[in-house]
Structure 1
Amino acid sequence: MSAVAEKRAKPGTVIASVSGKWVSYAHTVFAGYAFISALVVGMALHFEKIVRNEYYGFPDEWFPSVSAAIGDRYPERSIFQLFIAVTAGPRFALVFLTYLLYNKPGSWGPRAHVAVGLLRTLTCGGWVYITSTDDHDWHDIFMIAYMLLTLPWTVGGILLSRPGSKALKYRKIFGISFFVMIVPLVYYFIQHKVNHVAGAYTIYAFFEWSLIFFDVAFDAATAFDFGALEIRVVDMNGITNGAVPSSSSSSSRGVELRVKDTGLLTGFSFGTLFTFAVDVYNSFVFWSVLTSLGLLIWYFPLWYMGISGYEVTLLSTISPFLLGLPFLTPLFARFPQLSQLGTVVGIAAYLVPGPSDRLLTVSAACMFASISLAMQFHNVTARPFLSLTKATAFSIGFIGSVLAKFAFYANNPIWPIMHDANGGWNKSGLVVGVVAALLTTRPQRGSSEAVSASKRGSFIFASCGLAGLLFSMHSLLSDSSTMIYWVWDGYPLTGPLPVPYGAVTILAMVVGAYVGVTGKSSTLASWPAFAVGSAGAFVLYKFDGWFGYFGGLVLATYLIAIVPVLFESASIHPAGRTFGVGFLLYDLIVLGHVWVVAYAFVPGGPLLRERTDILVTVSMAMIGLGVYGAKKAQAVTSSSTGVFAPGKKTKSVSFFKVRAMAAIFLTAISVLTVVVAWRRTDKPAPQPYHPEEKLMTVGIWTIHFGLDNDMWASEVRMRDAIAELELDVVGLLESDTQRIIMGNRDVTQQIAEDLGMYVDFGPGPNRHTWGAALLSKFPIVKSTHHLLPSPVGELAPAIHATLDVYGEMIDVVVFHSGQEEDVEDRRLQTAGVSEIMAKSENPTILLSYLVTKPLEGNYNTYVSEYTGMSDIDPSDWDRWCEYILYKKIKRVAYARVSRGTITDTEIQTGKFVVGVEPASTNERVPEEQVAEGLRYPAVFRGDGVRGHRYHVFDEPRYYA
């Protein structure tokens, strides 16, 4: 008993205390999370449902109102209500503390203000928990009451604020912004409700969401005042056991809190969060613009079949050299918004109709993007940890761009090849991009001589490190499926699929970004760490399947982890020449990245023919030089600037701020990644179109790398054509877009997922072909990838797959022959494919690009007694490239369908029936004699649909 008594606190002991600002923080976080989580979940699960209103749906309307996002659907409604309920406690505390802070004897203003605050909080609960779906009238009554009470709450808060305080400054900004937004809100609501204007409700929704933001932000300003208050729990009668006395106030511990690590959110502030968010989005824009440049350049050599001249726009990235002009560096240093607004022009490029003009617009944006990146690290040595902040935001923006592509089927939604018709979010990206550009902060002022010129050493090492890092990130990590296709080896599966394992690639980068913040620079910039990254690159290049992929994950983690190290190293040198040389070297490696596969069309191509190993080695060697430069930088800066000082991060509040921001953003990215992966894997099993007839409809299409004739991404239009043709199996040629110059895309993902098909991507990007892919409604039992002999010209890829078609094993071969000029190559390739078909004992179908005339030359090797293959229609004299051959299976129909403006090659299709004794006759029969389930769709007759129609014969052909 006595022992217990000794542990009791003394009467009046303070057993807990907390700064009043945490009330403001808690209110802001919970309220913000309630709305944002409901919006994200709603967009992920019920996008088209919550953007639909009584007049229009997607794509006319493409962003939901607040009410639709928080109140119409489960689970987002429940998530919102849960967190808004949690917000109630901090909300009442906020109102009460505001009253205590401003109350004066005999003053009625604070009393009226607290009464309005309490009533406003109750009306908020009314429209939150009575949704428009539950009772539209009462929902609106509470909402209108809440809006009306917002006026005296806002005005009262401004009038009661201490003159000259930060709280007053931000209350004025957010309060005025709130009421200004009501004007366009009402206007667009009238446009929607009265004039029925398409898209008006989406614009209205943006203004409605801005009201939410400004409303929450207005109350967040209390953090500036509440920091002077302290909430204490006092044991008045000494009834608590074992309490640790706390006699000192928070104000007396202020210095200690700035250096003491109390958790991941140590150093967190909403101002820092907002500034960091701007930097992250600016990085997202940078990577979106940079990755789109090569993709737009690629359009032109596709049509020229060689060097077009537009390739010179790649050099737009060396624009940091212009910072050598004496007036430009001060200009961009004083007004960083200029270069960032110039970068955002790359998002607006989708508004430019002509392909060449669009490319020139993006190249101009890349000039500004490179300058903007260089200026972010100009003079940052004057402020320790600023470079760490900028570099971390750069990494997170990059990961965000990869996540965006993962969510949008390997296309960045704000690329200039995207627009409303193919799923682009260009308008949203442009609006947010302009706002972020205008809010870009001015670089820290300071002397560039923080490290004397004599001690900096050569900037070349830093430039090499930047070049190797940017190239490796761009070529391997800018899409979550790229490394997976490097190790792809067909069926049965011996490695990862892009979905869901693309999420694992993103999470590896998340880990790398966090290590880059928390790890010691001396450890990251070490040779053992470089050896681990290099080993990962070697394993990725050398091995297929899971083992190769694990090497890729190690490399991904390492590359993102060393971003701060290499950028901090670059920051001690003049930005113009360091980043200028860095981007010049980057451009040279990018050209090599093109040369390894395009060797047949470029001068000096054979020197790098199929030498991806050289590119990997060179890029890692450049990173190694960057590591060497970073180690040198550590030696000369650890004492003068503190940028690289060992252990510095564990003692500085600046480090804690960066870590807190990184933790918040990386956690959000991780959650979104898992949500996207789950959503994309939650699909029904593929089903053929006509199982009752045991029909197998096949097609072959050369898709021109997924860019249509007007330079738009063509996956959506391709998907629709394939669906309307009811193709169960389709071979796609010129389909490997997993390169910098092609955007690191995967044109099969959206088609396969939307239509419910299995995919074999074919030989991966490290196999140096233009690509061959197979999509099938039937399970792919096994597949083998072939690279046919090509001693002179381009490599010829082939896929030999066995499908389970209604219980029968059917072999399908997808093949792309070499160019017309290389006669010997095509002869050897013909012999190789013929051997594959001859050895196949199953019924076999060839979907191919042969480069031969019917009944002539190599045709007679493909169609021969040796192969056993027959031409689907020997009388079709108009073919040159595409052919469908078959054996041991009943052919019932053949058709050619025009390409529209999607590509330069038509679609050829055939219909086969499984389980029926095959006939060898080429006798044609009228369509009326063919069962309706075996016929081609009538939609393509006459003028067809969207430019697709039956042509050459003007109708399908049917056979007995």
Structure 2
Amino acid sequence: MASKYKDKEAGVLFSFNGRWVSWLHTGAAYMAFLSALIVGISLHYHKIVQNEWFGYPEEWFPSVSATIGDRFPERSFFMLFIALTSGPRFALVGLWYLLTAKPGQSMPKVVAYFGIFRTFTCGGWTYVTSTDNHDWHDIFMISYLVATIPWMFGCLALSPVNAKAIKYRKYVAGAFFGTIIPLVYFFIQHKVHRVPGAYTTYAFFEWALVLFDVAFDAVTALDFDTFELVVKDTKGISKSAPRSPSLEKEKDKATGVFSTAFTLSEALDAAADVYHGFAFWSVLTSLGLTVWYFPLWHMGISGYEAFVMSTISPFLLAIRPIRTLVVRNQRIFHLLSLAGLSAYIVTDPVYRLFTIGFGVSMQCLAWVATFSTDATSESRLESRVLAFVLGLLMSSIAKFAWHTNNPIWPIMHADNGGWNGTGLALAALAVLRFTRRRSTSSGNDGDRQSKSGSPALYALGFGGLLFALHSLLSDTSTMILWVWEGYPVRGPLSNIHAYYTIFAMTGGVVLGVARPGLVSSWSAFGVASVGAAVLTLYSNWFGFYGALVLTTYLLALSIPLISSASKKSPALTFGLGFLIYNFMVLFHVWVVAYAFVPGGPLVREHTDWIMTVTMLLIGCGVFNLNASRDGQRPSKIVKRPAASLPARHRKHYFGVASVLNVLFLCAAFMRFPSNDYKPYHADSRVITAGIWTIHFSLDNDMWSSERRMRDLIKEAELDVVGLLESDLQRIIMGNRDTTQYLAEDLGMYVDYGPGPNKHTWGAALLSKFPIINSTHHLLPSPVGELAPAIHATLDVYGTLVDVFVFHSGQEEDPEDRRLQSEYLAKLMGSTDRPSFLLSYLVTKPLEGNYNTYVSSISGMHDVDPTDWDRWCEYILFKGLQRVGYARISRSTITDTELQVAKFVVPESADKTKSLFGVEDEVRNRRVSEHEVPEGWRFPALFRGEGVRGHRYHVFDEPRYFAY
């Protein structure tokens, strides 16, 4: 490795080419992993292929973590060579900085920081194993993977003029990130579904990830060839020397979007714009949720529904003085829109709704004015549209991280997990940055910017698009629950497979920017329409594939459609567009709330009509886009040079999208199921079951109630609980899912019940015991609202036990309730297994339909026939030893108490059969609390005044029974 400089320059004693740093790093890193693999297979093969479920021969190849873990001597081999890797690694990062640093540029420093940070975090997860400290091992590992993204993309952006090296980097980086998807899939197959051999397949992708990671840095050997250490740049590429135009053109062609310059200021602009878009979607999605509170408590039309029309404020832009005022004072109106985020300060629900309505009207007005005034600049308009669309992506990710609640919604506050103050402060800073650059347009020439195309058709297209984005994509679990059909699992799960939706949304944004002509074509519209039909008509994975197609299309079409609509009259295009969106929202509510609204029966249970109308509205926008393109004369089409195309800003917005995806992956890791499902009194073979009508998870004061519900369910020691009025996957309920938070926090399996496209108010089942099978039922409802039911089979201490969760129709439809009682009685009578019903029956004890539910047909018995003070909630059972019953007051969480029963599961089938013939007089004999074992007793903390407004009431104490 003697240098040619040794003979030419005095004082040079030793030198070598820079590529040797890359080779030493690559060799030491590969030797660390491969030596551990070879030694581990040779000495401890069967131990390192063993996992928590399976071993050899089902699993026959070890994972990286098992290979480099705790066993001697493979762990020692790995640590020795990984330590030797650190020297070349720091040198590699340093040389890369010297190669790419240029005066006035901050990006090389940022990339170097992440390079050093990755090196330290690599040492963290390699020297602190999961056995040493599982939490810190995971923290270092996640930090390493997160830092890999800016490192790889930063290296691509800073690549010197070397097309070969750029090509290899793109290939290896693509392979690296592409490997993550199957890696996660097979890990889920192993961890959740316990598929034999899945961990071996996962291991191959894990090893591939390591190989690609090291290979990416090995490409630097092609660039460091210009270095000679004594460190000297032999070709001057690391400095700001003039470059050949042909070489620069070659580099730009190879790097694409990465060839444009990076500046910290523009990155902050992009981040602020997207956050302001997030604030828009946060306020918009909170409007229907807070409006819904009032008809919910009034049990009918309240008058406050008029606030839905807060969005049509862009009609005011038809008045020239108002339009001029808004355009010239956009910063003020954008700041006024933050009233929607500050509404959490207002405790009175009525005034809080007023505040939110004002914020929605101001933000719709301000955003439309911004779209219109920036329409004269393609790059600025595209930036605004990207901010608007990526704001929806950020909103969906934030809701995923907060278990389907947006942390800055006005139904959130510090006590229930809200980040309202932080969110409002960031939103104010984002507005100031969002509005710091004003357009030169006066806002009064919008009609002159595009002569072709109809504003009315754009309004139809925008209205349909906005409704589709809001109703389907404002939460990652909405379409997953559309296709959910119960156990065994045959489709996606909300907390595990949400990344499919997020990736589809991100891919749609990129596609819309890169290929606007393609996504606005009739062919793309046809494919999306097929996807919408598949989502509407099919369930499980096939239905979800249609959802992903539709997701990609909606985000992609948003870019050209909103951009083109912004060039027309803002009052007509967006004012009418928001009005159409409002009608679609009402249509969307009417299909399930038909029993409470005028004209409701006309659209009863017609989600298919909603989807059809939505796609037809979007089709109007597509027609306009194609008509506008066809209407342009060739002589008027001016080809702009590549340098003038709006590409510079895209890198920053795509970078923000990448960061959002990384944050989502971090949230997904934190939410990954722990499989820690333990009943409270397993030693006593007790099931503690409860039924609760949760009133759509809004408490009496219009705050989200999940955490308060969690506390009561945990303190009541419920092993199984049925939740009613639990379907929140509509715009008016905020597209939420309370069961996700409760199941994950309490360690329970969950069956959501009939999905949001089944037109019910919802029934859900949470269980500490495995759900072996579940089926969903819609009971006969010829006149009134649909009655949902779940029939599930649980594995309870090795015994199969059936549980039914049911919500009857309302009081006004007696024939519906009679038919439903007959249907459910036959359903309960169809099983001879031990069973219990958790229900909302709308009947008086011992009267009317009660005698159908509790009958020889169903075989069921009342948990306490002497409890006369019931009308809605009932618990029935058969084949179980009922030992206790209690009623716990709700405080201000909802309008219905929590009813709880304790059952002992018989140890044998003979004992189960003998319980069916026990006489009522014997079965309902009450005993004192001291006569039952301690494991059968109810918690004492609800006695007397109880806690937080929860106490035993009606009886003022639990009731216990014996035979």
The offset of 1:24, in angstroms, is 2.5
Give the match for residue 791 of structure 1. 782
Give the match for residue 344 of structure 1. 338
Give the match for residue 878 of structure 1. 869
C-alpha separation between the residues in 1 aligned to 2:716 and 2:438? Answer: 57
Give the match for residue 821 of structure 2. 830
Of the structure 1 ranges 748-757 and 320-329, higher mean CA displacement relative to structure 2 is found in 320-329
The partner residue of 2:942 within 932, 940, 956 is: 940
C-alpha separation between the residues in 1 aligned to 2:895 and 2:710? Answer: 17
Q: 1:377 to 1:821 in 2, by over 3 A?
A: same
The offset of 1:371, in angstroms, is 1.0
Q: 1:669 to 1:616 in 2, by over 3 A?
A: same
The partner residue of 1:670 within 640, 648, 661 is: 661
Q: 1:490 to 1:954 in 2, by over 3 A?
A: same
Give the match for residue 461 of structure 1. 457
> 1:919-958 alignment to 2 at 5 Å?
920=919, 921-958=923-960
The offset of 1:328, in angstroms, is 2.6
Give the match for residue 306 of structure 2. 312
Q: 1:438 to 1:248 in 2, by over 3 A?
A: closer
The offset of 1:657, in angstroms, is 1.8
Give the match for residue 137 of structure 1. none
C-alpha separation between the residues in 2 aligned to 1:665 and 1:245? Answer: 28
| 1:898 maps to amino acid | S
> 1:11-30 alignment to 2 at 5 Å?
20-21=102-103, 24-30=106-112
The partner residue of 2:839 within 832, 848, 851 is: 848
Q: 1:36 to 1:939 in 2, by over 3 A?
A: farther
Give the match for residue 753 of structure 1. 744
- Equivalent position SS for 1:949: coil
C-alpha separation between the residues in 2 aligned to 1:86 and 1:674? Answer: 17
Q: How big is the alpha-carbon RMSD for the aligned residues of Structure 1 and Structure 2?
A: 3.5
| 2:827 maps to amino acid | I
Give the match for residue 498 of structure 1. 494
| 1:407 maps to amino acid | A
Deviations 1:625-669 (A, max 9, x none): 011111233345687997xx8x86x92454322331232122212
Give the match for residue 258 of structure 2. 265
Give the match for residue 549 of structure 2. 554
Give the match for residue 249 of structure 1. 242
The offset of 1:793, in angstroms, is 0.4
Q: 1:450 to 1:591 in 2, by over 3 A?
A: closer
The offset of 1:429, in angstroms, is 0.3
Contact 1:693 1:913 (8 Å CA) reproduced? yes
Q: 1:922 to 1:321 in 2, by over 3 A?
A: same
C-alpha separation between the residues in 2 aligned to 1:740 and 1:316? Answer: 15
Give the match for residue 327 of structure 1. 321
Give the match for residue 567 of structure 1. 562
Deviations 1:138-178 (A, max 9, x none): xxxxxxxxxxxxxxxxxxxxxxxxxxxxxxxxxxxxxxxxx
C-alpha separation between the residues in 1 aligned to 2:733 and 2:109? Answer: 46
**1:75 pairs with 2:150:** no
The offset of 1:333, in angstroms, is 2.2
Q: 1:828 to 1:729 in 2, by over 3 A?
A: same
Contact 2:101 2:109 (8 Å CA) reproduced? no
- Equivalent position SS for 1:507: helix
C-alpha separation between the residues in 2 aligned to 1:784 and 1:922? Answer: 31
Contact 1:897 1:950 (8 Å CA) reproduced? yes
The partner residue of 1:869 within 837, 840, 860 is: 860
Contact 2:340 2:355 (8 Å CA) reproduced? yes
Q: 1:725 to 1:629 in 2, by over 3 A?
A: same
Deviations 1:13-43 (A, max 9, x none): xx9986714753221455489899999xx9x
- Equivalent position SS for 1:599: coil
Q: 1:799 to 1:696 in 2, by over 3 A?
A: same
Q: 1:475 to 1:641 in 2, by over 3 A?
A: farther
C-alpha separation between the residues in 1 aligned to 2:107 and 2:422? Answer: 28
C-alpha separation between the residues in 2 aligned to 1:81 and 1:698? Answer: 43
- Equivalent position SS for 2:372: coil
The partner residue of 2:602 within 602, 607, 616 is: 607
Contact 2:789 2:804 (8 Å CA) reproduced? yes
- Equivalent position SS for 1:500: coil
Q: 1:865 to 1:451 in 2, by over 3 A?
A: closer
The offset of 1:245, in angstroms, is 14
C-alpha separation between the residues in 1 aligned to 2:289 and 2:225? Answer: 60
**1:634 pairs with 2:617:** no
Q: 1:737 to 1:454 in 2, by over 3 A?
A: closer
C-alpha separation between the residues in 1 aligned to 2:250 and 2:330? Answer: 33
Task: Give percent identity, aligned residues only.
Answer: 51
Q: 1:473 to 1:856 in 2, by over 3 A?
A: same
Give the match for residue 539 of structure 1. 534
Q: 1:702 to 1:86 in 2, by over 3 A?
A: closer
The offset of 1:72, in angstroms, is 13
Give the match for residue 693 of structure 1. 684
C-alpha separation between the residues in 2 aligned to 1:898 and 1:508? Answer: 44
Contact 2:480 2:494 (8 Å CA) reproduced? yes
Contact 2:743 2:750 (8 Å CA) reproduced? yes
| 1:776 maps to amino acid | S
C-alpha separation between the residues in 1 aligned to 2:229 and 2:897? Answer: 86
The offset of 1:686, in angstroms, is 0.7
Q: 1:17 to 1:851 in 2, by over 3 A?
A: closer
The offset of 1:81, in angstroms, is 14
**1:593 pairs with 2:588:** yes
Give the match for residue 714 of structure 1. 705
- Equivalent position SS for 2:406: coil
Q: 1:82 to 1:502 in 2, by over 3 A?
A: closer
> 1:891-910 alignment to 2 at 5 Å?
891-910=882-901
Contact 1:383 1:641 (8 Å CA) reproduced? no
C-alpha separation between the residues in 2 aligned to 1:30 and 1:549? Answer: 41
The partner residue of 1:777 within 764, 768, 771 is: 768
Give the match for residue 397 of structure 2. 403
Q: 1:817 to 1:32 in 2, by over 3 A?
A: same
Deviations 1:559-607 (A, max 9, x none): 0011111111101102122110000000000000010000000000011
> 1:577-592 alignment to 2 at 5 Å?
577-592=572-587
Contact 1:730 1:775 (8 Å CA) reproduced? yes
Q: 1:406 to 1:463 in 2, by over 3 A?
A: same
The offset of 1:439, in angstroms, is 1.8
C-alpha separation between the residues in 2 aligned to 1:299 and 1:761? Answer: 22
Q: 1:485 to 1:74 in 2, by over 3 A?
A: closer
Q: 1:630 to 1:82 in 2, by over 3 A?
A: closer
- Structure 2: runs of 5 or more not aligned: 5-18, 20-97, 125-134, 156-223
| 2:407 maps to amino acid | P
Give the match for residue 671 of structure 2. 680
| 1:564 maps to amino acid | I
C-alpha separation between the residues in 2 aligned to 1:342 and 1:297? Answer: 20
- Structure 1: runs of 5 or more not aligned: 5-14, 43-69, 91-230
The offset of 1:504, in angstroms, is 1.4
Give the match for residue 507 of structure 1. 503
**TM-score, normalization by structure 2:** 0.75
C-alpha separation between the residues in 2 aligned to 1:358 and 1:932? Answer: 47
Q: 1:736 to 1:38 in 2, by over 3 A?
A: farther
**TM-score, normalization by structure 1:** 0.75
| 1:852 maps to amino acid | T
The offset of 1:275, in angstroms, is 1.3
- Equivalent position SS for 2:581: helix
Give the match for residue 178 of structure 1. none
* Count of equivalent residues: 771
| 1:566 maps to amino acid | L
The offset of 1:74, in angstroms, is 5.1
**1:483 pairs with 2:479:** yes
Contact 1:786 1:799 (8 Å CA) reproduced? yes
- Equivalent position SS for 2:671: helix
- Equivalent position SS for 1:455: coil
